[in-house]
A and B are shown apart, each in its own frame.
Chain A
Amino acid sequence: MKKFAKRYARNHGAVFGLCIILVVTALAIAAPFMYDYSPWMMVDTPLIPPFTNSAYPFGTDMLGRDITAGLVWGARVSLIVGLLSTAIALAFGIVVGAAAGYCGGRIDDALMRFTEFFQTIPQLALAVVIVAVMSPSIYSIMGAITAVSWPPAARLVRSEFMTLKQREFVLAAIVIGQKPSRIVWSQILPNAMSPVIVSASFMVATAILTESALSFLGLGDRNMMSWGFMIGASRTMIREAWWMSVWPGVAILLTVLAINLIGEGLSDALNPQLRKRGE
C-alpha cells in the first residue's frame, strides 16, 4: 500500500487532481452547513456581478439566487450521481462480463449480443429517452446513466477474464478441485481489478458530464440544483451575465479534469511496468 501511494505520488498531475476532488467533496459535504438556505431561494438583487459583493463572491443570477450556493449544492448532485451510478454500472458490468468471460460459449454469445444492443444506441440519446419516459428525478437520472455506461465495463471484464482463465494459476485452482464460483471470486477477480478500477475513474467523469448534459436539456431533478441546470438556465443571458454560465462550467471542467488525472495516476500506479516501458 505504501509503495502504491509512492508510485501514485510520482505523478504530479494525479496529486493535483486528488486535491481538487478532495476540495469538491469537502464542499459537497459541508453544503448544508455553509448555506442553510436553499440554492433556489432569491437572496438579493438579481445580476450582481462577481467579486463586487463579498456576501456573494461569484455574483447572483437573473432571479437573485446566490451562484456560490448553487455551485456548492451542485457539487453534491454531481458527486452523488457520478459515484453511485458508476458503482451500480460497475457491479452490473462485472457480473455480466465475468459470466460471459468465464463460461464462454453460448452464454458468452447471448450476453455479448445483449451488451451490443446497448452499445449500438447513442449513449446520450438513450439516456434522454430513459429520463423522459420515467420522468426526471435523481433516480431516473442515475438509472439512465447506469444503463448507458455498463457495457464498456462488461466488455473490459470479459476480456480480462478470458485471458486470466487460461493462466496456469487458474488451471491449478481447477485441478485442486475448487468450485467455479470460488475460482471466479478469489483467483480471477482480484487479478482483473486494476484495469477495472482505472476505467471506473473515467466512468465517474463521464457520468458527471452526462448528468450535466441531461440537466442542461432540462431533464434534471427539479428539487436539486445542479451545474448543468445552471448553465442551461443562463444560456439566454450569456451576453448580459457571462458569470452565470462560466462558474458552473469551470466547476464541471475542473472536476472532470481532476477525475481524469486521478484515473491516469491510478493507471500508472497499478501497472508500473507499463509506465516504464513507455519512457
Chain B
Amino acid sequence: MDQKTPLLSVQNLTIPLPAGGDRPYAVENVSYDIFSGEILCIVGESGSGKSMSANAIMGLLPDYLKPTQGQIFLKGTNLLTQPEPWLQSIRGQEIGMIFQEPLSALNPLMTIGKQIGEVMQVHHKYPGEQRKKRVLELLNFVGLPDPDILHDLYPFRLSGGQRQRVMIAMALALEPALLIADEPTTALDMTTQAQILALIARIQKEKGMGVMFITHDFGVVAEIAHRVAVMEKGILVEQGPADQVLNRPQHPYTQRLIASVPNRRMDESLQVHEPAPVMEVRNLHKTYVVGGGLLSPKRVVHAVNDVSFTVRDGETLGIVGESGSGKSTIGKCLLKLIGVDSGQMLFQGQDIVPMPENRFRPMRHNIQMIFQDPYASLNPRHTIGKILTDGPIANGKPRAEAEARARELLELVGLDASSFQRYPNEFSGGQRQRIGIARALALDPKLLVADESVSALDVSVQAQVLELLRTLQQKLQIAMIFITHDLRVAAQICNSVVVMHQGKVVEYGRPSQIFESPQNPYTQQLIAAVPGKDWNPAQVETV
C-alpha cells in the first residue's frame, strides 16, 4: 500500500482559533494520508478538532478560521490554494460527504428523487432520462425498499436510518473517489447504526473508494476501520493500522480512551441475598393518542404495554431499548411526571399510581431522577448552591443544614466546594451531570432513576460518571433504574436488565444470561448490532 500515492494527503495542517479560545489552534500540525480502498477512522472526543480537518478538505471552514500552514493534496492538487469555483466542481464529484444529522441535512420541501438528482444536475451529469434511472439505481444500491415509490416522497416520510441512506446515495451519486463521513451513525439507533456501518463498508469495498470516517465511538472504529488516527485537543497523537491502535495503543491518551470504553465487565458478585423490593411495577400500561383532529383518525400508540419489574435495595436495573421503545416513558411514569393508564407501581409496598399530586409530593424525595441532557436539566439562572438546596428546603430542611449538606455533596461527586456560588454555564457537560447527581442525592432518595444520563457525554467522561454512580450506589445502598440505549453501558453497571421493544418487555434477566444467550430474536438482533463486539477493550496490552 505504501508504494501507491495517497488519494488524499493532509500535511502539517494548522488552523488557528480566534483569540480568546481555550487553546491557540483548532488543529495543529496534523498530517495523514488516505489511500484508495481503505477506511481511515479519525477518533477523538468532542472539541478534539476531528471534524475540523474534514471541513478544511471540503472548504467548509467559516471565515474566521483559515489554515495558516500546511497543504491538503487531493490526487496531487493542493486544495487550499484552489479558487472557490474549482472547489465547487470537485465537491460531490471527487469528494462526497455524509453528515451527522440526517434530519437537518435533507431539504424538507424537496422530494428524495429531486434531491439526489440535484447533485447530478449541478455537475451536468446524467442528462435527461438517464438521471431518473441513476437515482433509482442509487436508491436500490443503498438498500432502500421500493425505489420507485421513494423517489417521489418527501424526507419527513422516512425514518432516521432511511434518511441517512438517502444521504449516502447523494454522496455516491457521482462515484466520488473519497467519501467523508462525519459521525454518520451517532444520531441513529444501535441496530440502524449496524446496518449503516455495514452499508458503508460494502460500498467502500465495491467501489474501491477511500473513506474518511470521523467518530467518537471506539466500537465503531473496531467495526470498520482499516487505519486509525487519534486526535486530542487539535493534535494527532497516534495513527496506525486498526489492529495496532486498538490492541497495542502507544500513546497514553489512546490508552486512557480505550480503558474508558464500556465493556462487558459483568459483576455478578453483588447479589447474594435478596433484599426487600423498593419499587415493584406490575402490568403498567401507558398509551398516547396521536392526531385525532376533525378529519384525521386517532392513532393509539402503546408506549408502555404490560410492563412489570422489580428493583431491590442496592440493585441496578437496566432498561434497554432503542428510541421509541417506551423506556423513557417508564422513567417518567415512575416519577409521576405523566399519568398512567393502568397498572400498579408499588413503592415500598404502597401503590403510588392512584395518589393525587399533593399527597404524593411529600413522598417525592424518595424517588429522584438524573436527567439526560446536562445542558437543559440545570436552571441557567440559578447558582449551583441554589440548585442543590432547593430540594431539601422544599422538603422542610432548614437552609443552613441544606447548605452544609450541599457542600458535602459537591465534594462527594468530585467537585470543588467553591462551585457553590457559580452558575451552570461555567461547567462542562460532565461536571453538570455531577451536579445533577448531587441534586438527586441531596434528598437521600431510596430509588434513583437515571434516564440516558451518560449518553450525552464523551466516552472518558462517561466512564468517570458511571464509576461515580457505581461507587455512590455501593456506598449509599440505593436502588437504581438505569435507562439506556447502549447495551455496553448497561452490561457494565446493571445487576439485571429489561430489554424493551415497542413498549413491551421482550427479555428480563441477569446481564450475563441476556448477553451470552439471548432468547428473544429482537434481543439477539440488538446484541449482534453492538459495534466492535469482536474487540475486547479489556484485553488491550498497555505498553
- Show the binding face of A for B, using Cβ within 8 Å: 167-169, 171-179, 182, 186-187, 190-191
Contact = CB atoms under 8 A, between A and B. Distances in A.
B439 A172 contact: yes
Interface of B: 335, 337, 361-362, 364-365, 367-369, 371-373, 376-382, 390-391, 394-395, 436, 439, 442-443
Nearest to B381: A190
Contacts of A176: 364-365, 368, 390-391, 394-395, 439, 442-443
Contact of A171 (B337, B365, B394, B443): B337
List 7 tightest A-B contacts by C-beta distance, closest first.
Answer: A176-B391, A168-B377, A177-B364, A168-B371, A169-B379, A168-B376, A178-B394
Nearest to B335: A175
A172 B394 contact: no
Given A169-B377, A174-B337, A191-B379, 10 more contacts: A168-B376, A168-B377, A172-B377, A175-B335, A175-B368, A176-B439, A177-B391, A179-B361, A182-B394, A186-B382
A187 B380 CA distance: 9
A186 B368 CA distance: 20
A191 B391 contact: no
B100 to A, nearest CB: 19
B428 to A, nearest CB: 17
Given A176-B394, A176-B439, A177-B394, A167 B380 contact: no
B379 A177 contact: no
A195 to B, nearest CB: 15
Contacts of A182: 394
B330 to A, nearest CB: 15
A164 to B, nearest CB: 10
Contacts of B364: 174-177
The dominant DSSP class at the A interface is helix
A6 B494 CA distance: 51
19 contacts: A168-B371, A168-B377, A169-B378, A171-B369, A171-B377, A172-B436, A174-B337, A175-B335, A175-B368, A176-B439, A176-B442, A177-B391, A177-B394, A177-B395, A178-B390, A182-B394, A186-B382, A190-B381, A191-B381
Contacts of B367: 175
B379 A187 contact: yes
A171 B436 CA distance: 12
| Most chain A beta-carbon contacts within 10 A, residue among B372, B376, B395 | B376
Nearest to A191: B381
A175 to B, nearest CB: 5
A176 B443 CA distance: 8
B53 to A, nearest CB: 25
B518 to A, nearest CB: 33
A169 B376 contact: yes
A137 to B, nearest CB: 41
Contact of A177 (B337, B362, B377, B436): B362
Contacts of B394: 176-179, 182
Contacts of B436: 172
